[in-house]
Structure 1
């Protein structure tokens, strides 16, 4: 039952993120808060419909290999699979280490009850697959083979994976479980959506000094759904990557994703609360971290606007220009 409720809430988050995120982007365009997208009155009918006209030439990707040797799309999917495989091997490795040290009854430190404690076994594959992607990227950089991968083709694979994720999540929901616990489901869903919207519209302009819509919408999508949701919304707000939002989001992910949002801290939170019988061991440290992060962001933003220091994202824009 808990799994069905979690899947249902995750689906609500995904769908709400897309609907609300696109609405916020449209609102930002109409009110002049976006730095990339132009006014609606300046857009063609095809742009408003989300389509390309016959006169426009837009490529889905660039061929990096000859189809007679290997299908380029197959090559890109294989690289994605390699990153996932590396992440899986890393996950299996840390689970094995845990089993040897404290995870099983015959471990070195099985605990007071002698049954072992499983923590790292709850870590999802995604953050480690992301590390696998970094490893693949470093390998390609060091060997001078980055030309084998096309950025636009990777974005097409990403978009397809996101669509499959949403459809799969919708198809696995148990309506009977939702009907049984509809009050809890409704309260948690509304509270989560309202919290994320307030963070986006009220706090983001006070934390991010430049390109706050473009940068904030990516974090909003990730908070409501998954990283791919944030990237999808970012593509809507900044389709040609004219802002530093994508780079800033990527750098943040390297620090954030392995620990939060499905990372190590998220994975061990439930086992810790179950083992201690209290939520405070997780709630209090996370609340303190949240308040400190919020205060630091507001202080930083005020400092940038008062000229005490410069925003690194603006340096990125200058370097591009």
Structure 2
């Protein structure tokens, strides 16, 4: 089957059907409910199983060698993550009211510090593995040292969004390994997070707690019963639909943010080509999405300063972002190469265990010494995000502090503004692979270790020394 506009459209329709199947499987499967497995991940695993990597290898092929799906459709899916990640990052700050940096720091400073410590620590752990094991023993690219932070903190979106960067530095297999690591991270978050919450409740490590077993069946299934349903618009209507639809306007501003990001990226590439030596290429391999995030900040600041109407609504932007993330996850997992994972299975397992161990040890031994109050409620969110998803971090905070009596949830939200712009999908994450290739793993390791140590010292001797109100 040829790649035609009809195939592209039908590919999106099939993704929607797979997401519905994943949703209803979740509704009727207690295992998925108990461990809060996202419907998009279930749908992605279904697509992977029914596609060329599993069913296709058994000889059951309706179309070519694509399993139940035409090969052209699988090709469309494989390109979607790289496009959708720009929509997701362009949506991060549109429609938001930016508080002062001072206010953000006062409320979320301990969480910002701990989250940066986790992220930079994953670079240190990953680069040490690359220098000592991955490159000399398994002949992997030194760029593999950046995969732990890309996958676990960045998640599926960032891992898939860096496809072009991996290809640009000759590390094509990095894409599949990164998505596989992100999947391990998200699945591990649920199991380990629930264990930590139950442990925290029994040992008195938390000041506010709700037993996860007390959650209603409705909450676990992710649906709302008819008697509890309320009117919940996607967002505020900011334009008259007879002139232009509100959703259209919001898509336009997302497109404008991405366009500004593209112009900035092209400008950086021109500067790099004019001033830098040919052997060092960073901006050439930098993906678009972190610049799209900066473009969104610029658009939002300009709207706030020069447009008197509240034309961009955060609720509408969030719905667009959520749709893009669901489609990204199902398409990224559905096109995962199991052959690559199998080829690098042992290093893959080593990296997975190393990242999970780092995050868990940091949570248990560092977080209590950094957080001046509500350490468990604050740190459990950072732990969840460092395992692959911001949504997982918010879920764990909600379980530990369902009525938001602690500053954990507010601090988590403010933290994103001063975290995502650098790591977890920001400039450092996006540039990490080219940086390792350009300057080598040793220099990159030393730099990451210095920055990690700086965040640790700030946490221990600034926030850690503050009076603890709960004591």
Q: TM-score, normalised by structure 2?
A: 0.53
1:129 offset after TM fit, Å? Answer: 1.7
CA distance in 2, matches of 1:136, 1:34: 40
Whether contact under 8 Å (1:21, 1:233) holds in the other structure is: no
- The answer to whether 1:130 aligns with 2:302 is no
1:99 corresponding residue in structure 2: 273
1:91 offset after TM fit, Å? Answer: 1.5
Decide whether aligned partners of structure 1 residues 166 and 85 sit closer, same or farther in structure 2, where only a CA change above 3 A counts.
same
1:145 offset after TM fit, Å? Answer: 4.8
1:233 corresponding residue in structure 2: 393
Compare 18-27 and 50-59 and name the one that shifted more.
Answer: 18-27
CA distance in 2, matches of 1:26, 1:145: 49
1:274 offset after TM fit, Å? Answer: 3.4
CA distance in 1, matches of 2:259, 2:406: 32
CA distance in 2, matches of 1:32, 1:58: 39
Compare 292-301 and 91-100 and name the one that shifted more.
Answer: 292-301
CA distance in 2, matches of 1:202, 1:60: 43
CA distance in 1, matches of 2:227, 2:280: 62
- The answer to whether 1:208 aligns with 2:371 is yes
Whether contact under 8 Å (1:128, 1:258) holds in the other structure is: no
* Structure 2 residue matching 1:303: 3-state secondary structure: coil
Decide whether aligned partners of structure 1 residues 302 and 240 sit closer, same or farther in structure 2, where only a CA change above 3 A counts.
closer
Decide whether aligned partners of structure 1 residues 286 and 18 sit closer, same or farther in structure 2, where only a CA change above 3 A counts.
same
2:342 corresponding residue in structure 1: 179
2:250 corresponding residue in structure 1: 76
1:262 offset after TM fit, Å? Answer: 4.0
1:32 offset after TM fit, Å? Answer: 7.5
Pairing partner for 2:183 from 2, 11, 28: 11
What per-residue deviation string (whole Å, max 9, x for no partner) do you get for residues 263-285 of structure 1? 44445544444345x42201122
What per-residue deviation string (whole Å, max 9, x for no partner) do you get for residues 100-147 of structure 1? 212xxxxxxx3xxxx442112232323222211211221221134563
Whether contact under 8 Å (1:120, 1:264) holds in the other structure is: no
Whether contact under 8 Å (2:381, 2:397) holds in the other structure is: no
2:234 corresponding residue in structure 1: 61
- The answer to whether 1:288 aligns with 2:450 is yes
- The answer to whether 1:303 aligns with 2:462 is no
1:195 offset after TM fit, Å? Answer: 1.4
* Structure 1 residue matching 2:232: 3-state secondary structure: coil
1:197 corresponding residue in structure 2: 360
CA distance in 1, matches of 2:258, 2:191: 29
1:319 corresponding residue in structure 2: none
Decide whether aligned partners of structure 1 residues 304 and 174 sit closer, same or farther in structure 2, where only a CA change above 3 A counts.
same
Pairing partner for 1:161 from 312, 317, 324: 324
Decide whether aligned partners of structure 1 residues 61 and 264 sit closer, same or farther in structure 2, where only a CA change above 3 A counts.
closer
Whether contact under 8 Å (2:206, 2:377) holds in the other structure is: yes
Decide whether aligned partners of structure 1 residues 274 and 76 sit closer, same or farther in structure 2, where only a CA change above 3 A counts.
closer
* Structure 1 residue matching 2:465: 3-state secondary structure: helix
Compare 31-40 and 202-211 and name the one that shifted more.
Answer: 31-40
Whether contact under 8 Å (1:29, 1:40) holds in the other structure is: no
1:31 offset after TM fit, Å? Answer: 7.5
Compare 171-180 and 215-224 and name the one that shifted more.
Answer: 215-224
Q: TM-score, normalised by structure 1?
A: 0.74
CA distance in 2, matches of 1:157, 1:18: 25
Decide whether aligned partners of structure 1 residues 246 and 44 sit closer, same or farther in structure 2, where only a CA change above 3 A counts.
closer
CA distance in 2, matches of 1:143, 1:44: 47
| Aligned-CA RMSD value | 3.4
1:160 offset after TM fit, Å? Answer: 2.2
